[in-house]
């Protein structure tokens, strides 16, 4: 491969990584607990760029569509949940993954339509993975200390299942780049997402740190 070709390929890959976007929702419990500033601050200080933000009360229909954008979500979530029960030595309420997901979806619809949520799009290198890491794993009981869910929530699947509600874990964050690409247009029009530069991007992405010295 010619040198110039390699250089342009590298530029293309780097541009793609730097422009990775992910969808984050601060769920009603995050707003009720006045954690909006804390949550935004954690993503900001990692170096990610906020490119879109709005507050809204979503309809149950909008929430159902959000969770079922991926046609496999019902089956995969049901199977994962059944496996989770079995791992804990518990009998699942049903062995039918779709029946399990129907209960979960019902709880999620009530939870997310209970009050305002904040929808955001964050951009930067590995945005999806960085946000998932800072947010912590889905069940707060087992989220690592230092993650948002690990530091601010004490909920568990056990508690949620007893009360027949969704686990209150403050945040939704896209699980993969493909998921983000489906979720972002579900919550935002392209014109609501702003293309702009922030000065710290120079420090993250400029190869030679040009322009620091006078
Ligand atoms: P996330 O991407 O980390 O939010 O997790 P998933 O996409 O796998 O699941 C979406 C939502 O389904 C979670 O926020 C939970 O409310 C619910 N959920 C997922 N797995 C389980 C489970 O094993 N048990 C129960 N009760 N709810 C679950
Ligand atoms: Mg998910």
Residue 15 is predicted with a pLDDT of: 67
What is the 177 CA–ligand 1 centroid distance (Å)? 18
Whether the pTM exceeds 0.85: the reply is yes
Which pairs with CB-CB distance under 8 Å and at least 24 residues apart come from 15-18?
Answer: 17/125, 17/126, 18/124, 18/125, 18/201, 18/205
Domain that holds residue 190: 17-204
Could you report the average pLDDT of every consecutive run of 10 residues in the chain (214 residues)? 72 78 98 98 97 98 97 95 91 93 96 98 97 97 97 95 95 97 98 94 85 82
| pLDDT attached to residue 8 | 76
What are the DSSP calls for 164-204, one per residue? TS----SEEE-SSHHHHHHHHHHH--GGGSPP---THHHHH
- Residue 192 has what pLDDT? 98
Number of domains composing the chain: 1
Is 106 among the domain residues?
A: yes
25 CB within 6 A, ligand 1 = no
Ion ligand 2 residues within 5 Å by Cβ: 175
- Inside any domain, residue 5: no
pLDDT in tens, 86-143: 998 989 989 999 999 999 999 999 999 999 999 999 999 999 999 999 999 999 999 9
Q: Is residue 121 part of a domain?
A: yes
Domain-located, residue 8: no
In this structure, which residue's CA is closest to atom 15 in ligand 1? 167
- Does any domain span residue 7? no
CATH number of the domain to which 151 belongs? 3.30.70.141
In a domain, 109, yes or no: yes
Residue 2: inside a domain? no
Any domain includes 9: no
CB distance 147 to ligand 1 below 6 Å: no
- Please, which residues have CB within 8 angstroms of residue 32's CB and are 6 or more apart in sequence? 115
Q: Which of 83, 85, 167 to mutate to test the pocket of ligand 1 (most atoms within 8 A of CB)?
A: 167
Residue in 16, 62, 126, 172 annotated catalytic? 172
Our measurement of the distance from residue 156's CA atom to the centroid of its chain's CA atoms, rounded to an integer in Å, reads: 19
């Amino acid at each position: 491969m010619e040198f110039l070709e390699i250089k342009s390929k590298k530029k293309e890959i780097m541009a793609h990584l730097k422009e990775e976007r992910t969808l984050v929702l601060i769920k009603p419990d995050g707003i009720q607990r006045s954690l909006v500033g804390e949550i935004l601050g954690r993503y900001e200080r990692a170096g990610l760029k906020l490119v879109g933000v709005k507050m809204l009360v979503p309809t149950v229909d909008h929430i159902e569509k959000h969770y079922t954008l991926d046609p496999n979500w019902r089956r995969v979530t049901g199977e994962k949940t059944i496996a989770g029960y079995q791992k804990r030595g518990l009998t699942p309420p049903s062995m039918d993954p779709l029946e399990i997901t129907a209960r979960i979806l019902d709880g999620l619809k009530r939870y997310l339509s209970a009050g305002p949520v904040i929808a955001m799009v964050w951009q930067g290198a590995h945005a999806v993975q960085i946000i998932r890491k800072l947010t912590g794993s889905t069940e707060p009981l087992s989220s690592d200390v230092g993650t948002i869910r690990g530091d601010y929530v004490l909920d568990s699947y056990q508690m949620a299942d007893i009360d027949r509600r969704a686990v209150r874990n403050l945040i939704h964050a896209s699980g993969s780049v493909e998921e983000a690409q489906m979720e972002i247009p579900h919550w935002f029009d392209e014109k609501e997402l702003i293309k702009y530069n922030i000065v710290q991007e120079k420090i993250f992405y400029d190869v030679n740190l040009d322009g620091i010295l006078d």
